[in-house]
Chain A
Amino acid sequence: MSLPTSEYNPEISPGTISLADADPRDVVRAAEDLTWQASPEYIAPTANTEQGYLPTQPESPDDPDIKAATYDAIDAAKPGAEQFEQQRDPLAVMQAISDNLQTLRAGVLGEENN
């Protein structure tokens, strides 16, 4: 397993991954996943979802009462929105995939996956 630094070949690093020879159907499916995750509905859940929502601007910026109420709503929604943003993070996706794989393995091995 010992590898001198001089023999490191960056060409095989996933930094240069080529998907050219992957099964096109899987590439399409993966692309659909990513597209779906980036859809407006996914990014901006409506007010009645449990993640809450973050209005981009007050409905009537000139009305101080509405403005104050809107900012209160933004403050109230922030924790949920931030959590939701974190879930879209690549790290969260990677973690979820990794966890799902452990669950699949555990199912075969007869283990409880915590």
Chain B
Amino acid sequence: MAFFKKIANLITGGPAPASSGARRSKYTRRDLIRLESQIGGKLFGVIPKGHRREFFCLDSHTWVWHEEWKDPNSHKRVVVTTRYEITDNGVLKVQEGQPYKYVEGEELTNLLWAMHLYYEQVARQIYGYDPKTGKQLAPYVV
């Protein structure tokens, strides 16, 4: 177990957080994801006017990019949801109406950066956790 903690430390550049098992918040999992997605949606720059963007980690294998906007010509609501699934063979990109494909090249690099930024900001701003030192920061949101 210590070995895996050490590996996680090497990979993420900081200690892996530990769960105490004691509930300390009234928030539900859905609430937490909603809070995280507010940060995640801002990682990629300015959100165009009229767009709603969310980017969040759904579970230990799935990340979601969700964007909605109204098409200026047709005035129809456009919704694009992209699911990134971490598998043993790569990151599978799943979009409705599109063929499944593995993410590679620049897109994979960008996704990795986005996850890094997401973790850095979510850990500090929502959970009050310093990913570098593993220390609890105060005050925290949840």
Contacts and interface: CB of A to CB of B under 8 A. Distances in A.
Nearest to A83: B7
Interface of A: 1-5, 7-9, 12-23, 26-27, 29-30, 32-34, 36-37, 42, 50, 87-88, 90-113
B12 A96 contact: yes
A12 B80 contact: yes
A41 B110 CA distance: 25
Interface of B: 3, 7-8, 10-13, 16-25, 27-29, 32, 36, 42-46, 53, 55, 57, 59-61, 63, 65, 67, 71, 78-82, 86, 88, 90-91, 95-98, 106-123, 127, 129, 131, 142
24 contacts: A12-B67, A15-B107, A17-B110, A17-B111, A19-B43, A19-B113, A22-B44, A30-B120, A90-B108, A91-B86, A91-B88, A92-B11, A94-B112, A97-B115, A97-B116, A97-B119, A98-B57, A100-B16, A101-B119, A104-B122, A104-B123, A108-B24, A109-B27, A110-B20
A7 to B, nearest CB: 6
B58 to A, nearest CB: 9
